Amino acid sequence: MATTSYQSLLTCPMCGHVKSEIMPTDACQFFYECENCKTVLRPKEGDCCVYCSYGSAKCPPIQEQRGCCG
């Protein structure tokens, strides 16, 4: 069984700013504001959260192959 990662590097598609974040394990994160350019990120179509769209690791529920909130 693979180890679940709870940390992800979020990369803003607008300015390229990268920030390490701890992912929530009990909820999906639908919005994230880039601290550099203030763009509000939303999941891409087909993704459940901003971590699945812009992170270096998918959210914990997806990593563990269980249903997500999206």
Question: Does 69 reside within a domain?
Answer: no
- Count of the separate structural domains present in the chain: 1
pLDDT for res 69: 62
φ, ψ dihedrals at 54, nearest 5°: -125, 5
* 1 domain residue, yes or no: no
Residue 25 inside a domain? The answer is: yes
According to the model, what pLDDT value does residue 24 have?
Answer: 87
42 domain-assigned: yes
Q: Residue 1: its pLDDT value, please?
A: 54
Predicted confidence at residue 4, as pLDDT, reads 82
Reduced to 3 states (helix: H, G, I; strand: E, B; else coil), residue 34 is coil
pTM over 0.85: yes
What is the pLDDT at residue 63?
A: 87
Tell which residue, 20, 50, 48, has the closest CA to residue 33. Answer: 50
Domain of 49 in residue numbering reads as: 7-63
**Residues in the chain with pLDDT values less than 70:** 1-2, 68-70
Residue 61's nearest CA partner among 31, 17, 36, 24 is: 24
